[in-house]
């Protein structure tokens, strides 16, 4: 029996594993290892504390606990946990950056406008952000 969209399926890359390529799925994606490529999901996306992702990410929502290098676009919310790091541009309806997180890039907040109107207003609404939310060394390199 085939599982339907949103039925609890998870695409998982476990700790210690690495993968290079594209993930396109209607299900939740969880990365606890190393991933390089592109991730597109209509559900949620999680990067675990030890996860390292070098990719363009498109998702309904994202929770970042590890490191991401690349742009993240979410229809709803992006949450950066303590000690997480994002180097890239973020587009979402809501952005939460917890104390101790590091964000280097631009953020664009969209509030449910029709897509054509979002594209016209995006340059005017972009907020420049190059925030080091901790006192850690911001010149870290990705493994």
3-state per-residue secondary structure call for the chain: CCCCCCCCCEEEECCCCEEEEEEEECCEEEECCEEEEEEEECCEEEECCCCEEEEEEEECEEEECCEEECCEEECCEEEECCCCEEECCEEECEEEECCCCEEEEEEEECCCCCHHHHHHHHHHHCEEEEEECCCCCCCCCCC
Mean pLDDT computed over 5-16? 83
Instruction: Retrieve residue 13's tokens.
Output: 């890359």
Question: What digits encode the pLDDT tens for the residues 37-65?
Answer: 999 999 999 999 999 999 999 999 999 99
Q: Are 57 and 72 in contact (CB under 8 A)?
A: yes
Position 140 pLDDT exceeds 50:
no
Q: Which of 32, 67, 62 is nearest to 44 (CA)?
A: 62
Please classify residue 117 by burial: count the beta carbons closer than 10 Å to its beta carbon, then call 0-12 exposed, 13-18 middle and 19+ buried. exposed
- Residue 73's closest CA among 100, 45, 49? 45
Higher pLDDT, 6 or 75: 75
The model carries a pTM of 0.74
**What span, in angstroms and rounded, lies between the C-alpha atoms of 137 and 89?**
20
Ordered by start, the domain boundaries in the chain are: 10-128
Average confidence (pLDDT) over 9-19: 96
Tens-digit pLDDT profile for residues 61-120: 999 999 999 999 999 999 999 999 999 999 999 999 999 999 999 999 987 544 543 444
The reported pLDDT for the residue numbered 17 is 97
């Amino acid at each position: 029996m085939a599982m339907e969209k949103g039925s609890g399926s998870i695409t998982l890359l476990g700790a210690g594993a690495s993968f290079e390529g594209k993930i396109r799925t209607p299900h939740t994606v969880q990365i606890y290892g190393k991933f390089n490529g592109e991730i597109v999901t209509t559900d949620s996306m999680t990067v675990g504390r030890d996860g390292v992702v070098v990719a363009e990410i498109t998702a309904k929502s994202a929770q970042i606990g590890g490191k991401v290098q690349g742009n993240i676009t979410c229809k709803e919310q992006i949450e950066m946990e303590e000690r997480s790091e994002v180097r890239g541009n973020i587009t979402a309806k809501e952005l939460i950056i917890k104390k101790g997180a590091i964000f280097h890039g631009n953020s664009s907040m969209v509030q449910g406008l029709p897509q054509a109107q979002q594209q016209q207003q995006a340059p005017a609404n972009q907020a420049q952000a190059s925030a080091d939310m901790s006192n850690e060394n911001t010149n870290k390199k990705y493994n």
